[in-house]
């Protein structure tokens, strides 16, 4: 979690948020780390994410936005940790046990010339945006717990 905060703070104006979930880390991370099946349901504006290559804990993938923009990502995916970078975006998530639940953090930031100026504007709505993402994560965890879910 500290490592994610350091990376996010180095980016000046990231969208960053944390939430404590009342579920075990294994249950939360099973959903959050399922990049192909769950990430498009969790991240607003993401239509699909396809893993295009794997080598140990390093992946490559292609994200397609809801308006059809395609972006290639390099990904480091480990238990409780994910960092994703493309030419235009950087994002990450981390999960750690806390009490009887799990603290989950997520951030995103733009990586192109002028991106900091846009991020500065995005900061105003960052709390709302991460709140929506956390609510969607909760819904996906609940859906997997239902009969016929994948858990």
What are 78-106's pLDDT values in tens digits?
A: 999 999 999 988 999 999 999 999 999 99
Looking at residue 116, its pLDDT comes to 52
Pick out the chain residues at pLDDT < 70.
12-14, 112-128, 148-151
Residue pLDDT, tens place only, 118-129? 444 445 455 567
Distances (CA, A) of 67 to 49, 60, 70, 139: 14, 21, 9, 24
Looking at residue 95, its pLDDT comes to 98
Burial 2-15 (b: 16+ CB within 10 A, else e): eebeebbeebebbb
Looking at residue 86, its pLDDT comes to 95
């Amino acid at each position: 979690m500290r490592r994610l905060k350091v990376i996010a703070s180095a980016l000046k104006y990231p969208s960053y948020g944390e939430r404590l979930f009342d579920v075990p880390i294994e249950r939360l991370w099973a959903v959050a780390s399922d990049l192909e099946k769950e990430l498009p349901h969790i991240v607003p504006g993401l239509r699909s994410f396809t893993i295009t290559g794997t080598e140990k804990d390093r992946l490559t993938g292609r994200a397609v936005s809801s308006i059809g923009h395609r972006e290639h990502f390099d990904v480091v995916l480990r238990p409780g940790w994910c960092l994703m970078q493309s030419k235009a975006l950087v994002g990450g998530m981390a999960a750690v046990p806390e009490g009887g639940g799990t603290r989950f953090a997520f951030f995103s930031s733009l990586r192109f010339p002028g991106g900091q100026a846009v991020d500065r504007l995005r900061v105003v709505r960052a709390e709302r945006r991460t709140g929506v993402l956390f609510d969607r994560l909760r819904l996906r965890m609940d859906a997997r717990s239902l009969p016929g879910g994948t858990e």
